[in-house]
Amino acid sequence: MKRKYRNGSRTIVSLLIGLAFVIPFYITLVTSLDSKADVFRFPPHLLLDFRWNVYVRAWDMFRWPMYIANTILIAVITIAIALASSVLAAYALSFIKFRGRGFVFIVMLVVLMIPGEAHLIPNFVTLAKLNLLDTYWAQILPYGASVFGVFLLRQFFLSLSKDYQDAARIDGAGHLRFLWSVALPLCRPILFTIGLYIFIGSWNSLMWPLMVTQSHHVQPVEIALARFLQNNSVDWRRLSAAAVFTTLPVILVFVFLQKYIIRGISRGEGVRG
């Protein structure tokens, strides 16, 4: 009885949390499809009207394909670099014994606790000295290492049975072969989880691209959305339409990868430290 009550309470709490995330997006979708007269109506109109012409007008007003392509390019390269560096760092901290290994890990945890805003000025100065401002690399390199990814992967690698390593050694496999053939396939869900975190962070990034870029041809979609908001501050339907089609890629990625992400998070939580 107690167990049923506990499960029911968890389900209700989960539904409430889920609704808290879904309702703002649904209201934005409804607003984008409403007529002008219905946008400010009270009580609000909660049914979809399917007036898609406002999407066509909002899409035609900006070079959205260029900004979206820029964002995808930045996100994909950032994910590739961050995953590669995280895997190698986590592997070294888990399987290779060297002096100061514990100290290095503690330093990484300290870095994890420092707010991202504290890195803005040092990163800007470094990129300026490297003449990388106003380029794709200025938006990629500062996020090419993920301390959270290293932490999650290290915890998973430490949970692997030593039998895997012993079997690989008997087979004559070195560190790289063991990493590529054994460790990486086992931690694929965690890699998807880290990749999604980086993708969302890269897609929603606004302050850093505003600091380091000026040219439209390298700027991401969030800057385009902010500029669109300034130019159309009185047209709530167009603003909502632009917000919907710039948010949609993140939702689609999450929907397609949710199976791996949930598995990755559960593995990350279940492994020993």
**126 has pLDDT over 50:** yes
Confidence (pLDDT) at 120: 87
**Residues in CB range of 254: below 8 A, 6 or more apart:** 196, 261
- 214 sits in which H/E element: none
Tokens found for residue 229: 């908001």
Q: What would the mean pLDDT of 13-23 be, rounded to a whole number?
A: 86
Amino acid in position 179: L
Span 190-243, pLDDT tens digits: 898 899 889 988 998 889 999 999 998 999 999 999 988 888 777 888 888 899
Q: What is the pLDDT of residues 52-74, one digit of tens each?
A: 888 888 898 888 999 999 999 99
Give the pTM: 0.83
Average pLDDT score over residue span 29-47: 78
Which pLDDT does position 250 carry in this prediction?
87
Q: Which pLDDT belongs to residue 1? A: 62
Question: Is 82 in contact with 145 (CB distance < 8 Å)?
Answer: yes
Determine the pLDDT at residue 267.
60
